[in-house]
Amino acid sequence: MPQLRQNIITGDWVVIAPQRSKRPSDYVTKNEEKSEATKACVFEVGGEAYQKRYQDFETDHIFVIGNKYPAFVTDANVCSVRSYGVEDFYSAQPSVGGHDVVIVKDHDIALNTFSEQVWFELFEVTRRRVEYFQEVCNVASTIPLYNHRKKAGASISHPHAQILAANVVPSLVQRELDHTESYFKKNGSCPFCDMIEHELESKIRLVAENKSFVAFTVYAARFPFEIWILPKNHQAGFEKASQEDLRNLAEIMKSVIGKLDKALDNPPLNYFIHTLPNSCEDPSYYHWHLEIAPRVSDFGGFETGVEMFIDVMSPEEAVGYLTK
C-alpha cells in the first residue's frame, strides 16, 4: 500500500510506493565512462587550471580554482543582459556571487575510494571557502556540492566538488527556513534537533553514527537510498564547524559512501550541503546538513510536472540493504 509522507523540514509531501520496488542489484548503473588520460586532463596538478589556483586555499590533496563557465560571477559589471534583453514585466538581476571548483589532486581516485584525510581536507577547504563567501563577499547563500559520475552531472571524471555562492536563496532552502521557523514557533525547539533525537532513539533508519554526526535514510525520502548526515549538536552554519567536527564528518562520510558502494556498486550520486543563508539572522531553528542523493532511478512526468516525488523503495527497506 502506498503511503504519503511529509518532510518535517521542508513541508513537502512524497509518495512511498514500495510495492513497485526493485532489488538493489536492479539499481546498479554500469560504469562505461572513460576517464580522461592523466596528461590530457584539465585538472592535473601543474596544468593551466592549477596555475590559476587560489594559493591560500591549497592543501596536500586539494586546490581551488574559479569555474571557467560560472553560473554566478563576482563582479556585477561583467553580467551582460544583451543576450537576453530586458522585460519590465518580469524580474531579473545580475547573477552575482561566486562559483568555485574544488579539485582533488589525485587523478586516479574517486569519491568511493577517498581516504579520510582526503575527505577531511575537502571539507576543510570547503568550509573556509563558504566562510569567505559569507563574510567577505556577503552573498545571500552558499551551496557546496559534488557530482559523482556522468549520470549525476559530472562532465569531467577527475574528482572535484563545486561551491556556488548566490545573491538569492534557492527555493528549497527558503522552504526549509520557512517550515522550520514555523515548527520552532509552534514547538519551541529546532525540528532538526528533534528529528535527530527521534532517529537515534528509534534506530529504524539509522545508517551510521559517531561522536559528532548521525546518518540516516530520510523518512520522507524523495528517491531510493536518500541519506542525510547531520551534526548531533545544534549548529546552523557549516562554516562554524571545528577541526574535530570535520574529522568526524570525514569519518562518517567515508563509512556511508562505503555502504552505498557495497550495496549499489559505486552508484552515480550527488551530495550537497545546506547551510544557514547569510540573509537569515536567527540560527535557532536551522541546522546545517549534508544530503546524499544516489541517482539510481529516473523521474517521470509526475515528479517533473508537480515536483512531488514517488519513491519506489521505502527508506526502511533501503537501510536494511545498507547495513547488512
- Residue-level pLDDT at 96: 92
Distance in Å from the first CA to the final CA of the chain: 25
- Residue-level pLDDT at 37: 65
C-alpha cell at 160: 572535484
What average pLDDT does the chain have?
A: 93
Contact status, residue 288 vs residue 236, Cβ threshold 8 Å: yes
Higher per-residue pLDDT: 316 or 27: 316
Kindly list the strands in the beta sheet with 13-16, ordered across the sheet, starting from the edge strand earlier in the chain. 3-6, 13-16, 310-311
Contact status, residue 127 vs residue 34, Cβ threshold 8 Å: no
pLDDT over 80 at 85, yes or no: no
Higher per-residue pLDDT: 249 or 76: 249
Q: What is the CA radius of gyration of the chain?
A: 20
C-alpha cell at 137: 563577499
3-state secondary structure of 278: coil
- Least Cα distance to 173 among 221, 134, 129, 141 occurs for 141
pTM reported for the whole predicted model: 0.94
Each residue of 126-170: pLDDT tens digit? 999 999 999 988 899 999 999 999 999 999 999 999 999 999 999
Please state, in angstroms and rounded to a whole number, the distance separating the CA atoms of residues 188 and 18. 35
pLDDT over 70 at 33, yes or no: no
